Structures are given as C-alpha cells and as structure tokens.
Chain A
C-alpha cells in the first residue's frame, strides 16, 4: 500500500483536489446550500454576530487578529479564513464611524488585510472609511506580534476580538488582554497547541475545523457553504477509510 502511495501520491493528490472542486461546484449549482440551512449551531459565531451589531450601535471597534503564519506557507489556510472574516466584519461595521482594525505578524498578511479592507469599502462605495493603518503589522516574531497587538485591544475601544489564523501558545496573552479590557474574544487556529490554549482562555473558542466554517456562518456566500458541505462529506469518507484500514490491519495481522 505504501509503495502504491509513493508511486501515485501526486496523482492521488490531484484526484482529491478535483473531487473537492467537483463537490463544491455541485453544491453551488444544485443550490442545496441555502445560507443558514443545515448548519449546526456554533455558539462562538452566534455570539460574535450579536457582538458585531452591538459594536456598531455603541460606536466601538472590532479587532481581527490574523496571526503570524506566512501566506506562502501551510498556515495560509487559516489566515485566508481570517481575511474572509475581516471582510464580513468590515461590511457589517460599514455604517459605523469606527471601522475594524486587523493585526498580523506577517508583512504579506498585513498587506492583504489592507487590500481586503480597501476592496470591501470600494464594493460598498464607502472609500472614506478606508485607513491603511487599519491593517497593521504589529510585530515580526510571534511574541513581538503579540506584544504589538495587546495595546490595540486595550487602547482602541475594542468591543470584540476575533483571533483567526496561525498562533502559538502566546495567544493566551491576547485572550487575557481581551478579558481585562472587557471585550469578547472568539478564537480559532490551525495550530493544535493554540487550540488547547484557546479552549482554556478564550470566551468562545473555535475547535478543529470550526474556524474554517467562519465564512459560511458569517454569510460570506454560497461557495463558503458549499465548501463546508464538501468538508463534511470528505470527513465522513476519511473516517470510513480509517475504519476500513484499521479493520483490514486487524484481520490480516498487520503489515
């Protein structure tokens, strides 16, 4: 089996990507993914949506922290989800005088956060809201990034923080800052250590793949709901394959 995977691993990867692509297109086309339909409740997103409304009413800001993972590395997936959430927050808060602020620990990510905000305000014909300093590089190492993001939480009248991206254990310092400033903290990461820390310290943690459902839950469009459905199907497929593999190993005596 391992020899087969070594020989055809690349082709299998391509087939998996094509399968994912096919499923997303199928679910978008068949319209089985009406926004909000068939989505289980995730308390973190419910509370965050409520907090966005309250932030607009009370004239406070939202803070989206995108982590310190590079966009050209494996953690890019979680950072892309963070950018989608930034877009949704900017749209929701566009009637407010205080646009959301994004912090990141990677220069490319900081530029992308500025581009995301600029694109969103352009779509809404609200270019006056765009401020380049709303997408900030707060530091270049994990701890300097955290140290740079903490003052944003304390000093900029933040009502809710969403931590969506690649973090390490130091994310606890951000959640603690949120706790002390009395703002809500919703947090998810691709890193297992950060997930454990967020479970203990964030008011609303996002565990495992819940972070990647952010776009679908915040109404980012049918393609997000379709890709979430694709993830659900593939997860069951993988579970079935793992069980079959375990049973096969059990009955054939390993190897």
Chain B
C-alpha cells in the first residue's frame, strides 16, 4: 500500500511541476492551468503555516513537560504565542494592540539581535585571521576594510579621493563581476535541483 501511495505522490509531483514549468513556456496554452496550480499551492502553504505553528508549539511543550534545561524559555515562547494569537484574533491583524505588540516587542527584540550581529561579524573577521590565514583571507579582509573606510567621510580628514575611487572600483566593478559569477553557479545548481525533482530522483515529499 505504501508503494502505491509513493507512486501516486511521485506522479502528482512530476505532473504538477511539469505543468507549472510548461505554463511559463507556453503561457497562452497552459497559463491558466499554471495559475490554478499556483493558487492551490498558496492555499496549501497557508494550511502548512498552521501545521508549522502547531509543530513549534509541540516542540516547546515537550521541552516544558519533560523539564529539560532552559525549559523556562520555552514557556515564554508558548505564553507569547498564545497571547499574540488571542490579541490578534480579538483586535485583528492591523488592530491597535496587534501593532503595539509588533512595534514594541518584536521590532526592538529583532533590532537588538541585529546589534549583536554587528559585534559577532567584527569578531568573526578577527577570528578568521587566526583560523584560515591565506591569501584569499587577506584579500577579503583588506577589501572589507577599504570599503568600510571609504563608505563615509573619515573623522577629521573628510573625504579621500583615492578611497572614493577604490570604493567605486570595488563596489561597482569587482564585486558585481564576482557576484554575477557566483549567481551563475547558483542558477545552474538551482536548475539541476529542480530537474532532479521533476525527474522524480529527489523526492522530498515522502515518495
């Protein structure tokens, strides 16, 4: 029975994937079908959100009930989740209290994490010299320093024309060329990953 279900999963996945892809190539012929399938995908994604939140609650509830270390944080997560759900259900997603939670709790917490991130990145750059001091690392760090120095006028010195020229060279030419090269590799990798799913070779959907 499991084999039959697996086979049905594979057939549905390949057929849906192929129809959506061909819908982009032949919009007049299969564009309507593509739109319907994408609408279904959006509905399924919304339902998956509910399942995902239940999964999140289950994981933290288990931590609390089995009294694992730092379970108190899981309790905070659960309490916050329930409180936010209740407030949003009562006042609406754009209601006064929902926005209050967003503006006064979520945004400040995320901004403070970003502040920590700046310190972590500076520390990581320093650690990189100790861990992997190669020519590439040296080039990476010198480039970072040059771009940092040339991004804003220097204290007591002001703008340095040489640094500005270097900034333009690095940001507008070298970085763009390098990024395009990396993105070409990423694009080819994405095509390969998509084709493996379309061929039924990769089956992350329980096939």
Residues of A within 8 A of B (CB): 10-11, 13-14, 16-17, 20-21, 24, 70, 72, 74, 76-78, 80-81, 83-84, 106-108, 110-112, 114-116, 118-119, 122, 132-133, 135-141, 143-144, 146-148, 151, 155, 169-170, 172-173, 175-176, 179, 190, 192, 195, 197, 199-201, 203, 207-209, 211-213, 215, 221, 223-224, 227-228, 230-231, 234-235, 238
A76→B59 CA distance, assembly (Å): 25
- Check A137/B110 contact, CB under 8 A, given A170-B117, A200-B140: no
CA distance A179 to B163 in the complex (A): 35
Of A115, A175, A209, the residue contacting B185 (CB under 8 A) is A209
A235 touches B52 (CB 8 A): no
Contact flag A223-B199 (CB < 8 Å), given A108-B48, A111-B52, A141-B110: yes
**Interface presence of B73 (CB below 8 A):** yes
Other-chain contact of B113, A10, A74, A170 (Cβ < 8 Å): A170
Which positions 89-123 of chain B face chain A at CB distance < 8 Å? 110, 113-114, 116-117, 120-121, 123
Q: How far is the CB of B174 from chain A (nearest CB, A)?
A: 13
Residues of A within 8 A of B192 (CB): 20, 24, 77, 212, 227-228, 230-231
Is the beta-carbon distance between B52 and A200 smaller than 8 angstroms? no
Q: A132-B58, A230-B192 are in contact. Are A169 and B121 (CB under 8 A)?
A: yes
Q: Are B25 and A11 in touch, CB under 8 angstroms?
A: yes
- A179 to B126 Cα, complex, angstroms: 14
Q: Mark B122-158, 1 if CB is under 8 A from A, else 0.
A: 0111011001000000001000000000000000000
Q: Could you tell me the distance between the alpha carbons of A14 and B182 in the complex, rounded to whole angstroms? A: 23
- Cβ of B202 within 8 Å of any chain A Cβ, yes or no, is yes
Interface centre among B38, B124, B140 (most CB of A within 10 A): B124
Residue pairs across A and B with Cβ atoms less than 8 A apart, 22 shown, are A13-B25, A24-B199, A77-B193, A77-B194, A78-B189, A107-B52, A108-B52, A110-B48, A111-B48, A111-B52, A133-B59, A137-B56, A175-B124, A190-B189, A192-B183, A200-B124, A207-B182, A211-B189, A212-B186, A212-B192, A227-B192, A228-B192
Chain B residues numbered 164-207 whose CB sits less than 8 Å from any CB in chain A: 179, 181-186, 188-197, 199, 201-207
Q: Given the complex, which residues of A lie within 8 Å of B186, measured CB to CB?
A: 77-78, 190, 208-209, 212
Chain B interface size band reads: 35 or more
Q: List the B side residues contacting A74 at CB < 8 Å.
A: 190
User: Contacts A108-B45, A110-B55 known; A195 to B69 CB distance under 8 Å?
Assistant: no
